[in-house]
Chain A
Amino acid sequence: MTQSKKILIADDEPNIVISLEFLMKREGFQVSVAGDGEEAIAKIRSESPDLVLLDVMMPKKSGFDVCQEVKGDPALSATRILMLTAKGRDTEMAKGLALGADAYMTKPFSTKDLVDQVKQLLGSDA
């Protein structure tokens, strides 16, 4: 069903990238990885993933900036964005959602919840 969906993982923490990559691949998604904000933007443009797992605190360009840029670009705005942050403040969450993120999860997250959330986001699109 969701076999062909592409997911971009944007995070600067290698171990988190590894875990996310493993998780997503296990669910049968195609996965690509970006280590900072600029790379994330570039890959969103070049690979047009269906969903981005976007970390907020990244070098070069923050997750907020990336989100804003993506949602502000009509060509990319269909891209689902699931924001992840290790800063658990309400204001951060409100900011992320205000910028157009489709969902928001705080780290550490339950892998099951994350997978459910990803499926839900992609499912509603299908």
Chain B
Amino acid sequence: MLSSSVIVGASFAYLVVLFGVALYGDRRADAGRSLIANPWVYALSLAVYCTAWTYYGSVGRAATTGLGFLPVYLGPTLVMGVSWLVLLKMVRISKAYRITSIADFIASRYGKSRLLASMVTLFAVIGIVPYIALQLKAVSSEYGLLTGAHPGTSGDWYRDTALYMALVLAAFTMIFGTRHLDATERHEGMVAAIAFESIVKLVAFLAVGVVVTYFIFDGWEDLFVRAAIAPDLAPLLSLDMAGSKADWFALTVLSALAFLMLPRQFQIAVVENVDERHLKRATWLFPLYLLLINIFVLPIALGGMLRFPADVIDPDSFVLTLPLAEGYSTLTLLAFIGGLSAATSMVIVETIALSTMVCNDLVMPLLLSSQRFRRWAPHDLTGLLLLIRRGAIVVILLLGYLYFRLAGQAYALVSIGLISFAAVVQFAPALLGGMYWRGATRNGAVAGLTAGFCVWLYTLLLPSFAKSGWLPMTFVDSGMFGIELLMPERLFGFGDVNATTHALFWSMLANIGAFVTVSLWRPPTAVEAGQASVFVDILKREPRGAARFWRGQAKIDDLLALLARFLGAERVRTNFLAYAHSQGVEQIEDLEADGHLVHFAETLLAGAIGSVSARVMIASVVQEETLGLEEVMNILDEASQVRAYSRELEEKSQALQAATEDLRAANERLKELDRVKDDFMSSVTHELRTPLTSIRAFSEMLLDDPKIDLAERKRFLGIIVEETERLTRLVNQVLDLAKIESGHAQWHETDVDLIELINHVATTAGQLVRNRQAELTLELPVSVPVLRVDRDRLIQVLTNLIGNAARFVPDEGGVVRVVLSESEVGVRVDVCDNGPGIPQEVQSEIFEKFRQASGSGGKPTGTGLGLPISRQIVEQFGGRLWVTSRPGEGAVFSFELPRKLAVSTGESDAQG
């Protein structure tokens, strides 16, 4: 025995620590450094699944069924394996629409139905309150066991530990569950505390397991071998006692579904989820937790049964009695704390979840629809909301306590674990069906829930009441009205399975049958169709798609005032301002009161008072048009067409991507060419307009003013002629260049002797040089190979080069030299001047179109096309044209023509 003061002291100390953890979690959340934004914490908090029923009850089940306790944990393992398929969707939907409870979720899916919301809440309360009672019973009876006091049913209520535990938990839950009204209904401190409790219960249970296996007994082998030779224990080592294969399968399915449907699991896994990526780690971490907490269950059960004589000690309490009997008092205390943590974590979360449901889905819709309430309600409803929430917590916990006092050791309490599971599993068809099946309707959900719940009541709950002696056993043994086919545990004669499997089968049959049949009876209404698409397609579509189904008129002020009543003015303004910024608007007043805004407001409100009440309240301040089913379907069709189209596009786009790359490159090249062409055109324009300007100006002056004297007239007319020549030259050269570049130029190739050709050019182009008072000298060898080229083109090149040189020679003492020689490549011509030379940096530029260097002659005789044309011509013959120059030392323009152009030597003296 342990003294009660030690246990109470330790329990109290534990609760203080828990309080501290929760407080720290909340503080961190307020400071913006969330403690629970962590995948490990999320996975650990999921372990709220393991209640006192696991902690104590698993060993008890193992003592009678061997491994038969395991399916309860295999089911959730399987669900976590596909968590991204189911849980992720639930998390997405709930986040997008600020759904805060399972009742809200189901009601919201079926058009924010008030009936469904209250039904689910009511069923959940009926199904779960006994489960809470079981937790209280577990702690109180184990406490009694350790201290020798008699728990529960007898004695004065004010000396009952369970009552005080209920009250302490109510206080804790109120503090951390309703500390403030959060539009997301998230409780960081509470989650931190739950994660902490998960660690405590796991460590405690493992400690007991290790001590039992290795200290009290001599390891696994010792335990199992000794059990194998004990006749009443040997069957536990096989699956013989685990129930039928059907029972095993049914229990796996039941626990898998319950894991998703239990309000506390929905609260922790969906509502309290901070980041959906946390699901990733939980996929394996939570199953690992389940494995660890179960690995010593059978050894402890076997150990207890080997250690104690049969039927003296309840196997449910082996976790405590084994270490206690062997004198491990500290371990016993730790084990008790572990059990306490398992019970408290379940009670806290379940109570928060239920109170949210009761407040948002039962009380608020009732209040808000009452005319009298509307008249008397205070303007600021935040206080009232918290009050209802807190009241619900106290009421639920006291109900749990009451049930515990009434039921005591009765069968109805002991077996409530699976009965609870079977109750919440009735939500599965409506919830899961609603998430994947567009055709599901509100009436279908109502029918399914009702049918399932009635069958559950008849096949599971009422028999458990009968077994507790509250109802006559006759209806269980011989059926309702004495009709054998209606025997609640052998309905229609189906009785080869245990009661749970039996109830699960019939209730699911009724539930799913009614759900599907009634859903198919009529097409969904407009609202249902809209919500269905929103839920089913959540992974494909942006959440705000719901706003598409809204049409009407709203005033921002009305919305602000309404929300402020429930959330407080400041919080509402902050949220609206954030929304305004996300819409690219500075002020709330500048927001457009459209469907998106109304949807945003409704979602915000739904976080605080549930989607059903939020719908009612929003509808009261905005004028809405009801969309017909056809309109909704049109919107949906459009959306699905767009989706199909986008999927198609996605497929094509990959194939197109490569092509796009090529196209982009080609386009870049084209753009570059375009730019070059543009530049060219712009330059041509400039070069054309410049001489035209002079011609027009002088012509107009001559025309306007007959009094201009003769000398001026002559000078002006001279300029006009000169500029006209310049224009002609430009036009010719532009055409010439265009012809050469496009390859349309005609080449008349003849045998050309360069010596003769240079002499010829010297006489014609020499005039240009002499005009500049400069000297033209020729340095020619005796003979060079005769080349087969276009004579006129070559004359054009030479004339251009000599003309250029003439423009750049100094005004006095200018010399232009033309040098002909044979080089390695072939025949080379150099045209040298003694002008200023060309700076290195512009040497390549001068071969570009319209980039002429300014000459010293003053007159702009060049067109800027001579050199580019010359280069084109030389290159056409396979030669090259270049310039060498050093500033101050003149410039040398050279070109080489390759030897391969040479006519064979025998004909070298051909015509000139």
Write the residues of chain A forming the contact surface with B, with a CB cutoff of 8 angstroms: 12-16, 18-20, 22-23, 26, 57, 59, 86-89, 106-112
Give the docked Cα–Cα distance between A87 and B695 (Å): 17
Q: Is the CB of A108 within 8 A of B697?
A: yes
Counting chain B CB atoms within 10 Å of each CB, the highest count among A20, A23, A107, A109 belongs to A107
Give the docked Cα–Cα distance between A86 and B689 (Å): 5
Give the docked Cα–Cα distance between A57 and B687 (Å): 11
Stretch at the interface among B83-91, B277-285, B559-567, B699-707: B699-707
Q: Is the CB of A59 within 8 A of B854?
A: yes
Q: In terms of DSSP, what is the predominant structure of the interface of chain B? A: helix
**Do A88 and B685 contact each other (CB < 8 Å), given the known contacts A14-B859, A108-B692?**
yes
The answer, among B687, B690, B700, for a CB contact under 8 Å with A16, is B690
B695 contacts across to A, CB distance below 8 A: 108
For the complex, count residues of B whose C-beta is within 8 A of A.
26
The answer, among B690, B692, B697, for a CB contact under 8 Å with A111, is B697
A89 contacts across to B, CB distance below 8 A: 682
Q: Is the CB of B698 within 8 A of A13?
A: no
**Do A107 and B701 contact each other (CB < 8 Å), given the known contacts A13-B694, A15-B723?**
no
> Across chains A and B, which 8 residue pairs bring their CB atoms closest together, nearest first?
A19-B697, A86-B689, A15-B694, A107-B693, A108-B693, A108-B696, A86-B686, A111-B700
Q: Is the CB of A112 within 8 A of B697?
A: no
The answer, among A18, A20, A110, for a CB contact under 8 Å with B700, is A110
Q: Is the CB of B690 within 8 A of A107?
A: yes
A14 contacts across to B, CB distance below 8 A: 858-860
B687 contacts across to A, CB distance below 8 A: 86
B250 to chain A, nearest CB (A): 80
Given contact pairs A15-B719, A86-B687, a sample of 4 additional A-B residue pairs in the complex whose CB atoms are under 8 Å apart: A16-B690, A19-B693, A87-B682, A110-B700
Give the docked Cα–Cα distance between A15 and B726 (Å): 12
The answer, among A19, A87, A107, A109, for a CB contact under 8 Å with B698, is A19
* Interchain residue pairs with CB less than 8 A apart (24): A13-B694, A14-B859, A15-B691, A15-B719, A16-B690, A19-B693, A19-B694, A19-B697, A19-B698, A26-B701, A57-B686, A59-B854, A86-B685, A86-B689, A86-B693, A87-B685, A88-B689, A106-B689, A107-B689, A108-B697, A109-B693, A109-B696, A109-B697, A111-B704
Q: Does B380 contact A (CB under 8 A)?
A: no
Give the docked Cα–Cα distance between A48 and B48 (Å): 90
Q: Is the CB of A15 within 8 A of B722?
A: yes
The answer, among B682, B685, B719, for a CB contact under 8 Å with A18, is B719
Q: Is the CB of A112 within 8 A of B690?
A: no
Least CB separation from A15: chain B residue? B694
B374 to chain A, nearest CB (A): 64
A110 contacts across to B, CB distance below 8 A: 696, 700
The total of Cβ contacts below 8 Å across the A-B interface reads 72
Give the docked Cα–Cα distance between A111 and B719 (Å): 16
A46 to chain B, nearest CB (A): 23
A18 contacts across to B, CB distance below 8 A: 694, 719
The answer, among B689, B701, B719, B722, for a CB contact under 8 Å with A108, is B689
Least CB separation from A18: chain B residue? B719
A111 to chain B, nearest CB (A): 4
Q: Is the CB of B705 within 8 A of A26?
A: yes
A53 to chain B, nearest CB (A): 12
A57 contacts across to B, CB distance below 8 A: 686
Give the docked Cα–Cα distance between A15 and B723 (Å): 9
A19 contacts across to B, CB distance below 8 A: 693-694, 697-698, 701, 719
A90 to chain B, nearest CB (A): 12
Give the docked Cα–Cα distance between A18 and B692 (Å): 14
Least CB separation from A107: chain B residue? B693
The answer, among A16, A86, A111, for a CB contact under 8 Å with B701, is A111
The answer, among B682, B697, B719, B860, for a CB contact under 8 Å with A23, is B697
Q: Is the CB of A13 within 8 A of B860?
A: yes
Give the docked Cα–Cα distance between A22 and B691 (Å): 17
A111 contacts across to B, CB distance below 8 A: 696-697, 700-701, 704
The answer, among A22, A87, A109, for a CB contact under 8 Å with B686, is A87
Give the docked Cα–Cα distance between A61 and B542 (Å): 57
Give the docked Cα–Cα distance between A94 and B353 (Å): 69
Give the docked Cα–Cα distance between A13 and B852 (Å): 14
Give the docked Cα–Cα distance between A70 and B372 (Å): 80
Give the docked Cα–Cα distance between A12 and B852 (Å): 13
Give the docked Cα–Cα distance between A87 and B854 (Å): 20
A26 to chain B, nearest CB (A): 7
B858 contacts across to A, CB distance below 8 A: 14
A38 to chain B, nearest CB (A): 14
Contact with A along B852-863 (1 / 0, CB 8 A): 001000111000
Counting chain A CB atoms within 10 Å of each CB, the highest count among B687, B694, B858, B859 belongs to B694
